[in-house]
Structure 1
Amino acid sequence: MSASRLRLPRIRRARQLGAASGRAARDAPLNRGRDNEKILAIKRHTVIVEGTLAFRMQRAAAARAGDHGRDVATLPLLAARLAGGFTRPADHATLVPIVARALSELGFEELESVKTRPGMARAVLASLARIWAADIRFDDPRFASARLSDLGRIEAYLRSHMPMGTLLPPDLRDRATAGTGRARATVGDLHFHRLISIDPLWRPLITALAAVVEITWDAPGTLDRSWFPGTLLHTATQPSQDLICDVCADPRAEIVEALRWARELLSDGVTQASDIAITSADLGVWDDHMLVLAAEAQLPIHFASGVSALSTRAGQACAALADVMINGLSQDRVRRLSLLSPYLTEALPADWMKGIPTEAGLFEPEHWARSLEPLRRADGSSIAGTLMPVLLDLDVGPGAAVKLGETLLRGKSLGLWREALRLGPAAAMEMTLTSLRIADESDPANNVVWARAADLVGAPRPHMRLLGLSSRSWPRADGVDPLLPDHVLSEHDLVDLSRLEHDRLAFEVLVGHPASRATLSRSRRSVEGAFLAKSALVQRKVTERPRSRTRTPEHAFSEGDRLLARTEDALDLPRMQSVTVCWTDWTHRLEPTPHDGGFRKDHPAVIRALRMPQSATSLRRLLRDPLGFVWARALGMTAPELAVEPLQLDPVTFGDLVHELLRLAVERIEPTPGLVGATPEEIDNALDAAARDVAERWPLTQAVPPRLLWLDTIEEARRRARRGLTIDARFGPGTRSFSEVPFGTAESLGERTEPWDERQEIVIGQSGIRLKGRIDRVDVKPDRRGVRMSDYKTGTTPRNLGDVILNGGAEVQRALYAITIRQLIPEASTIIARLVYLDTMGPPAGLDGDILERAEETTLRFIDVAVEGLRNGIAYAGPDAFAGYNDLRIALPAALDRYQRRKQEGFDAAQQRLVPLWAEP
């Protein structure tokens, strides 16, 4: 097909379009006339509201009524419309940073000493807003003062530094007043919908508009509105009779009762969600409870004031970044940030921290650099190259807030971060984020509304529940402006309608609305537990109805609430039956039950645990807490370890630190010159080198205190380690000393043969338990016929240390290590097993000879007894189960003392063959 034939359809189509355009041109005057008739038929009018809720509800009402000529606006938006020229009112987010710059750049007469205080910019803007609302001019001689002069300088600074087209409220009002001649064409007739009051700032504008357009005001309440030049449409009200106030335990209980009330209304099949509202004068105390419980209830609830930014993923991403930026680097904080930051989620593999020990604190950039150095992606590229620049910026702190936000955040989270930086300094980011709210995207016209009373006045509903009718919450006391005390500007001149009076009027308007039914609610106690008296607004003509926490509601608000109210339904659930039986076994039965421990004979998990090599610590748990042994070894239960920067090491970790110093020091001294022949200076040099090594290496694997405290901790550990190396009498010439000597580690890749082969298997007792572990220190004579074992302790020395042999099974390590040495060094005829406490200068507690042999026999006998009991399914709590240092106590009943007293006799009877050990000295 030729090119000319391809063009023919296009030419034909163009001719057709030209003909159609000609017909349209001929008919254009007729069409324009018809359109003008339609435009003239639409009468333009504007409804003025206050608050987001009334704004959205009026738009929904216009859409439902097909009122195409209705415009909905607030007074600032009305003024901006009349001012024209793309003018807009200055909002809070725009003004706060400019005020902050004014405070830093200008000098003041009275505000100079406080202008750098946190939150000063917002406080100044709040004072300016009150002055503007009261229509007070800073050049008015009636209000001349140094304080107002300072505020006037800030106002002048704002005028000269605001973005183009943005006007302060007084300037916007004046510009709008000058444009009232165009009001009939631009806004039409005005109707003020349910505004309780109008600030003096806007009254000159309204007076000017009254001469041009018709103005009406649907004015609720009984305030004096004689200044209003238009027509007042007084709303009929009915006396607040037959009001019922539910008296609840606390704010959370109020929310529970409110949701039950809403569920009951919705269940009648007639009431719609759009007919229901829940409100209070201030939502702060109830808002978090409403957010959580509404999600649990799955009710359609619209949050008119928005939801907390921190309740969203975007807000949590900002919070994670602020946490690291302000509080410093740590593994936990960086892990959380990497899960929430859009940039890090995309730039790093999901398992990028797999090679870093979870116990490592990583509080310094250099710690991160050394830990990230060996980590690679699947393609071989370095993870450190991506992450280290970010970590270095995070280490800078709030000074890098802008750069960090632009780098790590995206979309909504970046918008929240920028908004928080506009509202306050980066150092206060954590506090600023808590005040940010995100608009609820649901439609209030189709949902139950959770709103402030001041907002609900403009959009009342047939069913309203008023919360917080206590003396502290409703009405609220008037706040004193910290920058405008009464001696600077009297309250009468500054405030047209006080907060207390506004709350009182809002209450009267809501309960007196003729088309609504109001239900009241109050708390007996505050969140802190303080007693709350009822509000003065409900002192008369209100019937109080107590609502206990445990009452059975007619309509539950959620599945959990339903099961709590209907115990017969809850008891039919298998999980509830299991809980009930467990609770009965714990609290009512004296004999041991399956919920106290025990299991079937030769349980595979227990057999598997017993076949694993055991340490001295696990065998102590076996002897003194068989149930804990099963939990730890058979079920793998462990307490979580959080890498939080501590101010001091816990006792166990501090003991590990001392042992590490001892090991490193002995390795440097042995074999030359040898510990027995080393001088004090040589020991000190070895300890100094060990301390330097630990100071650099431990922060990569452990959570350690801040640097100054960490160095002090190392010094204390060094002092105790030196005592451990210098306390001993000489064991003989030529003696070799070994530190942290492993044994029974068959899977070890090491080739250590001195003082024994660490891979040699150690089997003890008739039960064939395999033993493995690490002895703190072993001294071996040249002929290997004399061996001295030392077990270092960093805890407090017991008073009767010299009388301790097994201590009820708590000190079995000396006996177990002696048994090990007899198998590994069979030629040894003299074995000394010692406990060395490093907190005092007292002598070590040693066992040898017949006493040591009897301790070995007793230990082996009771290990066989404990193993036989486990094989037979006997495993109950022992003495260590109730000790404060037991990290598995959380798995036991909460009232441990009563549980122990109730069950102790039964436990002892079931484990009667093991009980004699617990009385051993």
Structure 2
Amino acid sequence: MKRHTVIVQGTLAFGMQRAAAAREGDHGRDVSTLPLLGARLVGGFARPADYATLVPIVARALSELAFEELEPVKTRPGMARAVLASLARIWAADIQFDDLRYASARLSDLGRIEAYLHRHLPIGALLPRDLCDRAIAGVAHARATVGNLYFHRLISIDPVWRPLIKALAAVVEITWDAPGTRDRSWFPGTIVPTTSPPSQDLICDVCADPRAEVVEALRWARELLSDGTTQASDIAITSADLGAWDDHMLVLAADAELPIHFASGVSALSTRAGQSCAALADVMINGLSQDRVRRLSLLSPYLSEALPADWMKGIPTEAGLFKPDHWASSFEPLSRSDGSSIAATLMPVLRDLDVGPQAAVRLGETLLRGKSLGLWQEALRLGPAAAIEMTLTSLRIADESDPANNVVWARAADLVGVPRKHMRLIGLSSRSWPRSDGVDPLLPDHVLSERDLADLPRLERDRLAFEVLVSHPDSSVALSRSRRSADGAFLARSALLQRKVTERSLSRTRTPEHAFSEGDRLLARIDDALSLPRIQSVMSCWTDWTRRLDPTPHDGGYRKDHPAVARALNTPQSATSLRRMLRDPLGFVWLRALGMTAPELAVEPLQFDPITFGELVHELLRLAIERIEPIPSLVGATPEEIDNALGAAARDIAERWPLTQAVPPRLLWLDTIDEARRRARRGLTIDERFGPGTRSFSEIPFGNPKSPAERSDPWDERQEVVIGQSGLRLKGRIDRVDVKPDRRSVRISDYKTGTTPRNLRDVILGGGAEVQRALYAIAIKQLIPQASAVIARLIYLDTMGPAANLDGDVLERAEDTLLRFIDIAVEGLRSGVAYPGPDAFAGYNDLRIALPAALDRYRGRKEEGFNAAQQRLVPLWDEP
């Protein structure tokens, strides 16, 4: 066996050369890179100092050393990585820090960091220049240790390694298969001449955007694989920089189920281990909240094992839980046998999470395992804990698939070392290929000239990679570029396409000759797609929505006496559900019969939405009235006593609500309470006294037969309230009830925190939108049979205007009208007539997402048909 070594560049070429040696049975072939070759010649436990080893040492050097120019910026995020990148370029260019030609304060600072690295590197880890110098000392043993050298398709060799190569040339034979036409007169060995085939006529596909380019590339790969002779190992897709296409390639390749190897690795965040790290970073950086902790409990290996699957059962989803104390309080009322063990497991973790980035190391060791822990530790080595969210996005994981039997997705610089029979070069726009030479942020031209720093600038390297790939013998090459970037900017063609290249425009919606996935195939073969039941259903729905004027099954409606609707009607109804029944029958079916709701996990708001603010005001009113009644009573209380009751209620809410609700930050929260307190005071002091001895009650429930509490004052809340000929059961909660001592006169108050309408005095039923006063009056007559005089009023708390009262004949007519239309609505629901009403198209309707997207056109096309189908209900919508 004759030993020889093949020198390659990049992990792709490394893996492919090892596979080639295995196929050919070449047991004497060793595959190496230049740093590994140097380490082999040094012997012992010598190794090149890798990136993960150097970054934390550079970070310590920045914190411990004093600098002349870098001092003001040494604590900036990402500074360690920027310094290491500049050092790597200096090392590659073989520039000495004591060279008088390059003397400057900036290089002096970098020289101090290099000296620090020499003192603190682990045993055996060597910097490139030290590795080269020590390898030269062991060149005498090169024939036995490495044998003859063959440099396989390296475009260039950094100056730092050239002294070693010259020393090796005196001991072993050195050959360089050097693609391209650069000047290599310094090389002491044999250069294998490259022959360029006649230039082939190239075709460049012009696609819509980066995603469309990836789609066309996968279609091209599928077409090649379909001929029965081309192997996946014959195909490569490449670009100068993979950034704009990598995410699309990852998603679409999985959809296509094509064997694709990601030579540069896959994003760590695309894996479960990466998502575990991301969930932990989200809580650690952004603070505690219920949704963040829920997500972490699902992804953390420790928490998913230590906690039961339903550990959040009993904790309301609307609770914000932004502090450890909030969590501790939420665990106390859990009536579960494992409640204490859940708190014992989770509370130490929550307290560490509340500490923030300072506890990053401890949190990773506690909550993560295996690959996720490795990624977390790698991210902490590469950057500060406070910036770990950004660091995680830059981490990549090596693709475990073998490039030797897969289609390769790789950078052009890597593919130059292992060109394939079929190659597709994408991203050939003016911005992407070739890329302009970047300016080193720490080594601008006035410090160190780019000509001295870079043996082969990035612009020239990209040009050379393109020429090498398109001129490779025995290879067919396809090209593509995008018209627009991902953000819509226009992209011009690359300057590399000045040679004879024919452009072919490909529409995003074209019918491809070869589809890359099942979805792509169905788009290409309309007849196949239309034969699928789900597509037939979609097409039928679209036709019914857009072409027919009359109501169809896709617009609503169902069979008569549907059991789901019957169950919904047999449950107690609230004023809100009855309003939806009257003004949006289809929405009533979706919500009450089909249960189309989703849990809303709380996030910390800057201000309350109108509904939550209304709940806050109502809670203040309830607590204040409970403190005033029965002594001194609301009718007998002085303004000072009312203010004291509201103050006590506000303090109670300020402490209790954060445990059950998502509230704004503290200062905004206190300001919100003050505004709610102001409006609540208006609700308690707006009107004249109802009479001596009157009792006032706030937030009084009724019609709830399953309630465990029996309330006899002013009524038993379990007593059923039945309304209309349809026999619907009514339940609800009245904001305020004033009852005279003889119980013959009752006044109902419904508080509103929104903006007062201009025509408030004229509103009775408001087209079915304002039903509370009439409904609650009907309920009062059943709950308090003695009541002969009922006043139902509506109070808006944003102004000092008078309340809007309904009583006497006006109230009775409103009750009769409302009951008649409720019976009509129930009859329609039982018979299967349920279509969108006026509220279905309102901006506040959260069920609009289930309606067609072009809602205005849909309403204009269908409204007449909907009104005809629900003609008995339509007159309600015009009621004052």
- Shorter-normalised TM range: over 0.9
What's 1:781 paired with?
740
Shift of 1:381: 4.9
The amino acid of 1:681's aligned partner reads E
What's 2:607 paired with?
648
SS at match of 2:72: coil
Q: Contact 1:194–1:458 at 8 Å: present in 2 too?
A: yes
- What is the rounded CA distance, in whole Å, between the counterparts of 1:758 and 1:802 in structure 2? 31
- What is the rounded CA distance, in whole Å, between the counterparts of 1:234 and 1:55 in structure 2? 23
What's 1:151 paired with?
110
Whether 1:462 aligns to 2:424 is no
Question: Where do 1:144-183 residues align within 5 Å?
Answer: 144-183=103-142
What's 1:428 paired with?
387
Shift of 1:717: 1.3
Whether 1:318 aligns to 2:277 is yes
- What is the rounded CA distance, in whole Å, between the counterparts of 2:578 and 2:603 in structure 1? 30
Deviation per CA, 1:744-802: give whole Å up to 9, x if none.
Answer: 11111112111122121111111111111010000111111211100000111111111
Whether 1:596 aligns to 2:596 is no
Residue range with higher mean Cα deviation, 877-886 or 755-764: 755-764
What's 1:26 paired with?
none
What's 2:837 paired with?
878
Deviation per CA, 1:442-500: give whole Å up to 9, x if none.
Answer: 11001000100000000100000001000000000110001111111111111111100
The amino acid of 1:128's aligned partner reads L
What's 2:78 paired with?
119
What's 1:623 paired with?
582
Whether 1:194 aligns to 2:153 is yes
List runs of 5+ in structure 2 lacking aligned partners: none
SS at match of 1:776: strand
Q: Contact 1:375–1:382 at 8 Å: present in 2 too?
A: no
TM-score by length of 1: 0.95
What's 2:545 paired with?
586
Shift of 1:382: 2.4
Whether 1:638 aligns to 2:597 is yes
Whether 1:572 aligns to 2:507 is no
> Which among 900, 904, 919 is matched to residue 863 of structure 2?
904
- What is the rounded CA distance, in whole Å, between the counterparts of 1:906 and 1:521 in structure 2? 51
Q: Contact 1:611–1:770 at 8 Å: present in 2 too?
A: yes
SS at match of 1:382: helix
SS at match of 1:836: strand
What's 1:715 paired with?
674
Residue range with higher mean Cα deviation, 375-384 or 720-729: 375-384
Deviation per CA, 1:187-240: give whole Å up to 9, x if none.
Answer: 111110000001111111111111111100000001000110000002222243
Whether 1:563 aligns to 2:522 is yes
The amino acid of 1:542's aligned partner reads V
Whether 1:488 aligns to 2:447 is yes
- What is the rounded CA distance, in whole Å, between the counterparts of 1:355 and 1:126 in structure 2? 52
Larger Rg: 1
Whether 1:554 aligns to 2:539 is no
What's 1:477 paired with?
436
Residues 1:907 and 1:420: Cα distance change in structure 2 (over 3 Å): same
Deviation per CA, 1:43-102: give whole Å up to 9, x if none.
Answer: 111100000000000000011111111101000000111111211111111111111111
What's 1:232 paired with?
191
Whether 1:267 aligns to 2:200 is no
Q: Contact 1:639–1:887 at 8 Å: present in 2 too?
A: no
SS at match of 1:245: strand
What's 2:14 paired with?
55
Q: Contact 1:45–1:190 at 8 Å: present in 2 too?
A: yes
What's 1:539 paired with?
498
Q: Contact 2:55–2:381 at 8 Å: present in 1 too?
A: yes
> Which among 690, 698, 709 is matched to residue 750 of structure 1?
709
The amino acid of 2:861's aligned partner reads R
What's 1:695 paired with?
654
Q: Contact 2:331–2:339 at 8 Å: present in 1 too?
A: no
Q: Contact 2:317–2:599 at 8 Å: present in 1 too?
A: no
> Which among 184, 204, 209 is matched to residue 143 of structure 2?
184
SS at match of 2:135: helix
Q: Contact 2:6–2:30 at 8 Å: present in 1 too?
A: yes
The amino acid of 1:516's aligned partner reads S
SS at match of 2:549: coil
SS at match of 1:675: coil
Whether 1:304 aligns to 2:263 is yes
Residues 1:149 and 1:366: Cα distance change in structure 2 (over 3 Å): same
- What is the rounded CA distance, in whole Å, between the counterparts of 1:611 and 1:376 in structure 2? 31
- What is the rounded CA distance, in whole Å, between the counterparts of 1:110 and 1:202 in structure 2? 30
Question: Where do 1:379-398 residues align within 5 Å?
Answer: 381-398=340-357
Deviation per CA, 1:630-667: give whole Å up to 9, x if none.
Answer: 11111111244132221111111111111111111111
What's 2:785 paired with?
826
Shift of 1:430: 0.6
SS at match of 1:185: helix
List runs of 5+ in structure 1 lacking aligned partners: 1-41
- What is the rounded CA distance, in whole Å, between the counterparts of 1:811 and 1:858 in structure 2? 13
- What is the rounded CA distance, in whole Å, between the counterparts of 2:337 and 2:240 in structure 1? 57
Residues 1:375 and 1:732: Cα distance change in structure 2 (over 3 Å): closer
- What is the rounded CA distance, in whole Å, between the counterparts of 1:352 and 1:601 in structure 2? 42
Shift of 1:727: 1.0
SS at match of 1:113: helix
- What is the rounded CA distance, in whole Å, between the counterparts of 2:346 and 2:568 in structure 1? 41
Q: Contact 1:77–1:89 at 8 Å: present in 2 too?
A: yes
> Which among 725, 734, 755 is matched to residue 766 of structure 1?
725
The amino acid of 1:878's aligned partner reads G
- What is the rounded CA distance, in whole Å, between the counterparts of 1:836 and 1:465 in structure 2? 71
Residues 1:91 and 1:715: Cα distance change in structure 2 (over 3 Å): same
SS at match of 2:632: coil
- What is the rounded CA distance, in whole Å, between the counterparts of 1:899 and 1:149 in structure 2? 71
Shift of 1:700: 2.3
Q: Contact 1:375–1:384 at 8 Å: present in 2 too?
A: no
Residues 1:379 and 1:580: Cα distance change in structure 2 (over 3 Å): closer
Shift of 1:359: 1.5
- What is the rounded CA distance, in whole Å, between the counterparts of 1:728 and 1:211 in structure 2? 107
- What is the rounded CA distance, in whole Å, between the counterparts of 1:488 and 1:380 in structure 2? 64
Shift of 1:377: 6.7
> Which among 700, 705, 729 is matched to residue 688 of structure 2?
729
The amino acid of 1:368's aligned partner reads W
> Which among 71, 79, 104 is matched to residue 38 of structure 2?
79
Question: Where do 1:403-414 residues align within 5 Å?
Answer: 403-414=362-373
Question: Where do 1:64-103 residues align within 5 Å?
Answer: 64-103=23-62
- What is the rounded CA distance, in whole Å, between the counterparts of 1:103 and 1:782 in structure 2? 81
Deviation per CA, 1:387-418: give whole Å up to 9, x if none.
Answer: 10110000000000000001111111110001
- What is the rounded CA distance, in whole Å, between the counterparts of 1:718 and 1:638 in structure 2? 32
The amino acid of 2:725's aligned partner reads Q
The amino acid of 1:606's aligned partner reads V
Shift of 1:150: 0.6
- What is the rounded CA distance, in whole Å, between the counterparts of 1:411 and 1:902 in structure 2? 59
SS at match of 2:176: strand
Whether 1:255 aligns to 2:214 is yes
What's 2:489 paired with?
530
Q: Contact 1:352–1:375 at 8 Å: present in 2 too?
A: no
Residue range with higher mean Cα deviation, 653-662 or 497-506: 653-662
- What is the rounded CA distance, in whole Å, between the counterparts of 2:335 and 2:784 in structure 1? 46
Deviation per CA, 1:573-621: give whole Å up to 9, x if none.
Answer: 0111011010000000001011101111111111221111111111101
> Which among 289, 303, 322 is matched to residue 363 of structure 1?
322
The amino acid of 1:831's aligned partner reads V
The amino acid of 1:678's aligned partner reads A
Shift of 1:556: 0.4
TM-score by length of 2: 0.99
Shift of 1:692: 2.0
What's 2:697 paired with?
738
What's 1:30 paired with?
none
